[in-house]
Each structure stands twice: as C-alpha cells, then as structure tokens.
Amino acid sequence: MNMLASPAARPIVLAILLLASLRIPTGAAVLEAGVAEVDITPPLGHRMAGYFNERLATGVHDPLHAKTIVLRQGRQRVALIFCDILGITREVSTQARARIHAQTGIPVRNQLIAATHTHTGPLYHDVRRDALHARAVKKFGYDPAETIYYPDFLVDQLVRSAVEAHARLAPARLRVGTAHAEGLAFNRRYHMQDGRVVFNPGVLNPNIVRPAGPVDPEVGLVFVEAADGTALGSLIVFACHCDTVGGTEYSADYPFFLQETLRAKFGTEFCSAFAAGTCGDINHINVTTRTTARKGEITARIGNTLGATALQVYADAPHVARPRLAVRHQVFKVPLQTVTAEQVAAARARLDQDGLESGTLLERAENVKALDLDRRGPTWPVEVQVFRLDRDTALVGLPGEIFCDLGLAIKRASPFPRTLVMSLCNDRPGYVPTKKAFAEGSYEVLNSRVQPGGGERLVESALTLLRQLH
C-alpha cells in the first residue's frame, strides 16, 4: 500500500518529513533548571578572613549566601554553587560534593563549588585560623570566637542549597551573553622606575611606569528563566577582587549591590549568583586618579554598574536555541614550592610569639606560606572543570587565585565563541601567577604555593577539555 496515496496518512507522513527537516539532534532533551540560596552567615564575634590580623565580626551589612543553580538535560546533571566567602577548602568541597551526590545523584565531577572571594566573610581555615584558635584555647580554655565549627555548618548549608535547587528542577530556558564594563577593575602590579614590579604601589606614585599585566573587563552572563518566562536566577562572571569594603561587618562586597540591582527588576526571590573571574592580580584601585569616594560608594558603584551591564546583556541576548549540556574534568598534581626546615622553624617561632600578626605584609605572608607548604607536601592535586551549555558557550572552573593573563589565554584559544572562566573553584591553593610574573616577583608571587608553570598547566588542561566538548 502506498502511504502517500492515502489521504488519512498524508498528515502523518508530512509531519515526519517536517521533523526530519528540522534536524533535531539525536537524544536532545528538554533543559530543566532549579535555583536555591541559603544563608551561610556565621554568628557575630567570629573571626573574619582576608587579612593577616585578627578581626572579629561586629555586625552584618548584608548576609552571606550560598547560591546554587542545578541544570538537567536528559541524563546529564550539573550543580553550580557560589559562596560569599574568601575561599573553599578541598576538605569542605570534598565532603559537600559527596553528600550532594548521595542525596541527588549528581556526579561529584559535575559539581562546582566556588568562592566569590569576599574579604568580609569568615576565617575558618588555614594556619592563621589554627594559630588564633590555639592561642584562644590556651588563654581561655575554649575559643570565644568560634561558637560553631564553621566548616561543618558550611558543608550542611551547601548540601541543603543543592538539594533544594535539585528538588525545584523544571523546564527552563537560558540566555547567555557578554559585555564590557570598563573602568571598574585595574591590574594591581606595576613596573616601577627602578626596574621592580610592585603590588599596589600607591595612588599617584610618581615612580610608576606602567601596569605589569592586563585586565579583563568582560562581564559574562548566564540567565535562567522558567518555561513561562519567569526570571529565576543568573550567574555573573567578572574579574575583580571582592575587597572593596573592609571593616568588621559581614558583607558579600560588591556582588550584594549587583544582586539588589537585579532584584529591583526581577523580584526579591531572584537568585543572583556571582563568580570571580581570573582576578589574582586585579582589584578596584585606580592608582592614576585620587578619589574622594568612600569605600561604600565604590562598592555600590561597581555592583550597580555590573547589574546595569547584566540587564543590558539580558535584554539583548536571545534564548539558547539548542542547549547541549555536557561536562569534562581533569585532576592532576602540580609541584609546590619548597620550604626549608629553617624557614618553618622561624615561622613557628613567630607564630608562638605573636600569632603571625607582626611585621610587614610580605613578612606575614612569608611566614604563613612556610607553615602552609609544610602541611601540604611537595605536590598538590588541582581540578579543572568545563561545562558546555551549547555549541557557543562554555564555563571553565579553576582552583586558586588565577592571574588575569591565564584566563585571557583560555578565552583567546577556546573553540567556544563565549568562554566564561571562573576561579577559586573547589579548592584554594593560593595565588597562581604566570611564568612572567614569577620572574618579576612581588606580593602575589611571594604568597604563591605553586611552582612556576603551574598556571600554564591549568590553561593547557582547560583548553584540552574545551576542545573535547566542542
């Protein structure tokens, strides 16, 4: 029997032919998304991170959060979690990812837990915390600054956030795009007239010759909508240290003002996640201009500008027509710098004497580094992750404070037209400078743990994974 000869069969045949002409990818499935955020603010009186002196929290300017975006397409599931803290330790991310896998089925390798790098969050790990904790216990018999054990609390909240986002999975749409926000971020390393490279040499210093590295003004946006168009949340990626506030009040820094700008448009339930781009050598200080603006005004200006930029990207960005969710990751060991027994002994003596709080910034950093390297050993495992959203867009997750040049190298060589590179993911192995920066020296190099070439290996790994997914 000729199917085309049958009038009843012709609509069916035509429908089949039409579907074939659309070339729908084999195995394509509906994209689903769920978002959630939970409070991770410690109690008042807890030690604060970011510097080399003890600071106890006296208030809350704005609460700290963990914000999660879960995506599912077919059998592929991804969890992206962003936390308003200085850094994520490998211990915390390992525990949280294992529990998230147990409760949601999302593979560990498909989970990313990143820190925004706010300097007004809790100090909950490293030799500084341990030294101050031990000193308090010796003096009081307990530590009055730690009424909770924050790592356990943080793991619980990370798991809760991921589980809640996973439970809210529903058909969704994505918008992705990029724009530039000039004049917000500056390379903080400068060539000086005496031939040195100096970190933050001071505003209007007459000995400054030129910046020692680039900036990345790109603002990356991933916007999540429900199937009916309801705004659910977004991820903004931008390369600038979250270190504009200071003081002793908890704050997410400028991402808080970014959040408030977006919530003014989309409602108070909108989940505004922020990821630090490769900003190891980038901050907000313009050394060429003296400003009368207060810290709070600078913070608001950066956040509001990023929010306005994100809204413009959102307005111009089309929906992702064919999402193709996929993940690749690689774990490998990088060699760490060596430390002598004499250096460790001197650092321990300083620790016993003053808790590492005396001396210059470089001296404090050097002492902390010696004790940290003594704990870590000769090598350290690092993880590189790549998340494909569609044919044109990929996210890269890297551990540590990555120098801007390294992130730009990934973007330039990536096969994806849009590649958003995020730092401080899953672990905090310290600064990761370029080989060039290692030769130049100064603060970030002195405070780095990896050996020269570690950053370039991360770049190579990321590009290999990107090519596999394209």
Per-residue pLDDT tens digits for 294-320: 778 999 999 999 999 999 999 999 999
- pLDDT given for residue 185 in this prediction: 98
Write the pLDDT tens digit of every residue in 327-366: 999 999 999 999 999 999 998 888 777 776 778 888 889 9
Confidence of residue 6 (pLDDT cuts 50, 70, 90): very low
- pLDDT given for residue 18 in this prediction: 34
- pLDDT given for residue 10 in this prediction: 42
Q: Measure the CA dihedral 145/147/149/155, to 10°.
A: -110
Contact of 203 with 222, CB cutoff 8 Å? no
Dist. CA 381–CA 237, nearest whole Å: 25
Question: In the structure encoding, which two tokens stand for residue 96, read together?
Answer: 């949280």
Q: State the pTM of this model.
A: 0.93
Mean pLDDT for 140-152 is: 97
Give the three-state DSSP class for 281.
coil
Q: Where are the alpha helices (DSSP H) in 198-316?
A: 254-266, 295-316
Contact of 115 with 427, CB cutoff 8 Å? no
- pLDDT given for residue 350 in this prediction: 83
- pLDDT given for residue 17 in this prediction: 35
Give the three-state DSSP class for 21.
helix
Q: Of 120-124, 125-129, 155-159, 428-432, which gets the smallest average pLDDT?
A: 125-129
Confidence of residue 205 (pLDDT cuts 50, 70, 90): very high
Per-residue b or e along 371-397, where b marks 16 or more CB atoms closer than 10 Å to that residue's CB? bbbbeeeeebebbbbbbbbbbbbbbbb
Question: In the structure encoding, which two tokens stand for residue 38, read together?
Answer: 């939970």
Write the pLDDT tens digit of every residue in 358-392: 788 888 899 999 999 999 999 999 999 999 999 99
The residue type found at 171 is P
Return the half-sphere exposure (C-beta side, CA atoms, 13 A cut-off) of residue 211: 16
Concatenating the DSSP letter of every residue in 216-247 gives: --EEEEEEEEETTS-EEEEEEEE-S-S-S--S
User: Considering the chain, what is the average pLDDT of its residues?
Assistant: 93
The residue type found at 282 is I
* CA angle (348 as vertex; 364, 373 as ends), nearest 5: 70
Dist. CA 237–CA 395, nearest whole Å: 10
Return the half-sphere exposure (C-beta side, CA atoms, 13 A cut-off) of residue 198: 16
Give 111's contacts (C-beta < 8 A, 6+ positions apart): 78, 79, 80, 81, 97, 100, 101, 162
Write the pLDDT tens digit of every residue in 82-138: 999 999 999 999 999 999 999 999 999 999 999 999 999 999 998 889 989 998 999
Q: Look at residues 386, 391, 390, 454 and name the one whose alpha carbon lies nearest to residue 420.
A: 386
Question: In the structure encoding, which two tokens stand for residue 58, read together?
Answer: 């006296």
Confidence of residue 324 (pLDDT cuts 50, 70, 90): very high
Confidence of residue 14 (pLDDT cuts 50, 70, 90): very low
% of the chain with per-residue pLDDT over 90: 85
